[in-house]
Amino acid sequence: MTRLSVNINKIATIRNARGGNNPDIVKVALDCERFGAEGITVHPRPDERHIRHADVPALKSVLTTEFNIEGYPSRDFIDLVIANRPAQVTLVPDSPEQITSNAGWDTERNLSMLTDIVKEFQSAGIRTSLFVGADVRSVEYAAKTGADRVELYTEPYASAYLQNREAAVAPFVKAAEAARECGLGLNAGHDLSLINLAYLKQMIPWMDEVSIGHALVCDALYSGLETTIRKYKQCLTI
């Protein structure tokens, strides 16, 4: 089974636009669980433009499904994650000013740094995933760090899907096969939607988890959160 983890950053963006606590992201996260999501993902950034650091312990205290915290492994981020001990941490190579993730790790170049950080998280009992592109060498070096999983950066797949879905998915299948051969768990995320998710699942049925935020929140504006989560889960039953 491929689990659906709902990224609630966009909900926090709406809240922060007006201050206060509307919408209440803790309530939204609990509703996502109630509607069938198997996990909640957050990405706290240094400027707290969506998820605030204070949101992390508030969510940790109430969530009953898998909690995934993603972000760049600065010292502040590492300390925040270890203090809250989620089920999973996903490390991304984002600079603080980036609007969103736009590349995976160069795992060969950053092998030493990532190995040390993976070891620190695993010592705290936290499963560790590395955000990587659809590149076999990146996957192989991710395995050398001792990471538990990789998360494939799927924006290139999503961008090319409507032109030629077979060509778009081909490098991701190769990377996924490499991850399996290396003994790594497999996640995927970025720009996945109701348009392209089912085909990705069909071609890589052994994915452990997909993390979806922007498209899911946009769809929920029209269909409602409960119906939208159900539709995404249906895409994962292929």
Catalytic residue among 33, 50, 66, 190: 190
**3-state percent breakdown (helix, strand, coil) of the chain, nearest 5:** 45, 15, 40
Query: 43, 66, 151, 209: which one is catalytic?
Result: 43
Of the listed 33, 70, 151, 209, which one is catalytic?
70
DSSP state of 100: S
- The residue type of 43 is H
Burial of 115 (0-12, 13-18, 19+ CB in 10 A): middle
Cα separation, 230 vs 128, whole angstroms: 28
Of 89, 78, 147, 81, which Cα lies nearest the Cα of 118?
A: 147
* Sequence-ordered alpha helix ranges (H) in the chain: 9-18, 25-34, 55-60, 75-84, 111-123, 136-144, 155-160, 165-181, 197-203, 214-223, 225-235
Q: ω into residue 73 within 30 of 0, thus cis?
A: no
97 a catalytic residue: no
Alpha carbon distances (Å) from 165 to 124, 143, 192, 237 = 40, 28, 13, 19
| Known active-site residue 214 | no
Active site residue 70: yes
Q: Which residues are catalytic?
A: 43, 70, 190
